[in-house]
Amino acid sequence: MITTTLSWIASQIDGKLDGQDCEVSAVSTDTRTIDSGSVYLALKGENFNGHEFAKSAENAGASAIIASEPVNVSIPVVYVEDTKLALGLLGAAVKREIAPKTIAITGSSGKTTVKEMCAAILERRGSVLATNGNFNNDIGVPLTLLRLEHHHEYAVMELGANHLGEIAYTTNLVKPDVATIVNAAASHLEGFGSLLGVARAKSEIFKGLGDSGTAIVNVDSQFADFWQGKLKQKRVLTFSPMQKNEADFTAEDIIVGLDGCAAFQLCSNEGEAAIQLIIPGIHNVGNVLVAAALTMQLGATLENVRDGLLAMKQVKGRLNVKTLGSQVRLLDDTYNANVASVNAAIDTLSTFSGINVLILGDMKELGEKARFYHEQVGNYALSKGIDYLYSFGVLSQSASAVFDAAPGKNGEHFTDIDSLVSALEQDLQVEQQDISILVKGSRSSRMERVVEAIEASSLGKFERRRERIAC
């Protein structure tokens, strides 16, 4: 965060300073991360009250407290009506002070990958601040903005939500120069009510665009017309991840390598470039299109796009391909899951030759139609020629049941990891072909435990059985 004063902070958050003014260089909502010169902001929620830890923050070295109720400390306090709103106001104030060129990204799936792509591309041009991890909600976004410093020329902000109004709030803090909705799919339906509710919530990201801002729209989405109807006074560019429609950013001559990584020709309104991806997944072709569209509005060139993508790093748990022995390929895509992201991962799994196995954990927050959406995934796996579907959890059983009902297919459900891995070992030991195993599920399903168990199993050392040839 920029170095400033308590009085400046108070002026930006409609606060009243009680105590002596001083210089500060950080704001924290967690007493475990307090350093000398930090301000502790006491958040308050339904099940916690950060004001109870004000004294702990002082003992940890905090220089001041931001509070909405009396606290017993001997350091200065800035009093406000609502500390959560104060956090947002302060994040927005720091953003105005630094004024970086800013991208805002939302979507049901792919937004983190697009964010990482944008950051890698813009790093070819200058200093970039990007959202860390899942700091993409109404608390995480202002905390990210508070990390801005004077050297930052660009900001790449990921905006998530689980209810209507959240993206409208965070976009108003971010005030991006260019914004996009990567896609809208069945996700967080308990908070949004329906798929249309998801699309409406995502469209809030365009409200924060200024008169000179640019919206990047996915024309392959069923909600493309709905979104563009909200952008009649804005500049709009389009991308077509499925190559179904004419758009400003498209891909041609797509080739998927043995490692699952795609190479293709990126076609844009500013020319063409040959792209080689170093992260697997055919769906990442679409992610490149939107990342290129976003960054090129801030001055990036096609060469920056090409070189940045070659330099980007893998995101842990997001479709990492691991080789086990000489025969087994393990696709770790355990960070999170909804219908769209699972189908995209299945698309990638289907590109590998040999035996393909899907291990599916529960997809959460899908509302009253949750079982229907799991059945959809089971049917999609069938349509893509997947050979085995093992499910783990409760809801995912609907996927394996649909799959198992198809002739010649093996769908099984498990309630513990040991049984799942044992069945996997037994079923696959007889296979004489290469084997690809995709592990996917929502964050709360903790499917990384399945990945670890497979790596520790005999499959981690599995070698193809070779028949002796008689001489």
Binding positions:
107-113
Cα gap 15→17, rounded to integer Å: 6
Cα gap 141→175, rounded to integer Å: 12
At position 341, the amino acid (one-letter code) is S
Would you list the DSSP string of 245-266?
A: S--SBEEEEEEE-TTSEEEEEE
Backbone angles phi and psi of 306, in degrees to 5: -60, -50
Cα gap 176→205, rounded to integer Å: 9
Residue 204 vs residues 169, 197, 263: alpha-carbon distances, Å:
9, 11, 33
At position 129, the amino acid (one-letter code) is L
58 within 8 A of 28, measured Cβ to Cβ:
no
Task: Cite the annotated binding site for ATP by residue number.
Answer: 107-113
Q: How is the chain split among helix, strand and coil, in percent rounded to 5? A: 35, 25, 40
The DSSP secondary-structure symbol of 351 reads: T
Residue 265 vs residues 115, 167, 269, 272, 391: alpha-carbon distances, Å:
21, 33, 13, 7, 37
Query: Residue written as tokens 């801002």?
Result: 213
